[in-house]
Amino acid sequence: MRIAAVASAFPRHYYRQEFIAEGLKKFWGDRLTAPQLIDRLHAHCGVEGRFLSLPADSYYSLATWGEANNAWIKCAEELGEQALCRALTSAGLSPKDVHAIFTVSVTGIASPSLDARLANRMGFSSCLKRIPIFGLGCVAGAAGIARAADYVRGYPHEVAALLAVELCTLTLQREDVSMANLISAGLFGDGAAAVIVAGAARDEPGPEILASRSVFYPGTEHIMGWDISEKGFQIVLSPQLPDLIEERLGGDVDAFLKDCGLAFRDVGRWILHTGGPRILEATARALKLQREALEVSWDVLRRVGNLSSASVLLVLEEVMRRRPPAGTYGLLAAMGPGFCSELVLLRW
């Protein structure tokens, strides 16, 4: 099983962090008791700019969740098509060569689901197997690769596609000025990424998928997720998250690598979800890594912010672009609502 291609796509609207901070102060207005807090939070997010699904001024007029979700559907179709077309072209494939598509998102909903809408737009086979996945959040990019690999393990002559579309800014809540929402408004951006996973019998180029592991942490559902109401998605983000990462991630990765006959020193590329500064720092401590080992994750965070499930795929795209030496092991990992982690072992 191999990753034949990865490609990303972004909306047309890109804004510097300082511009977004000023817009949010206007968006929340008198609800903010200390507007200067926005400037301080944004300055410490490690983000220089982000893509937005809509022109900045359009966010002031979104009055209902239905309007925001309609915008999600329109933009998700456009970005999903772009990301998939780029990934398929890079792999030398067409939509009709895809046998199954896994679609992940946690920032909008649609029925028919996004994969069905893209099947109509892109001309996928009428026998396409569609697996839409909602609710995994930031871990879904890594989990999606693992599930696509599970599929082609059973069908080694086939190709599976993974599409992650996250339009986080369309979940912004006007009445929520909690610290969790203020932090997320400084971190999260919009974009999409697609991955093409090919079965072993196809002998495609690209890194091998050697193994994967899912780890669920019981009793931690309060750590991260959404409170969903008639107003849409309201962020749940516990300050306990960095501590949980430090407590659990290192041991989970160590056990996974040992079961694969490897150790930390054997991993040449760390492909980790961007999270935010506190998350990346906690991850580095948990894995006993120097900052340079997470250079690509820090760079993706700086350029586009946290894109939830798509973020780890953007890191993977950049690592693949840099072409690690043959034989290099890579560990792709993300964590998300549940709370849980997903680990994928790669080899170039």
| Residues with catalytic function | 138
- Written as one string, the DSSP assignment of 1-57 is -EEEEEEEE--SEEEEHHHHHHHHHHHHGGG-S-THHHHHHHHTSS-SEEEESS-GG
DSSP assignment, residue 292? Answer: G
Nearest residue to 114 (alpha-carbon basis) of 177, 63, 53, 166: 166
Q: How far is CA 17 from CA 44, 57, 256, 264, in A?
A: 11, 15, 38, 36
d(CA 6, CA 314): 8
d(C-alpha 193, C-alpha 182), whole Å: 26
Q: How far apart are CA 306 and CA 250, in angstroms?
A: 22
Which residues on adjacent β-strands are paired with residue 3?
Answer: 197
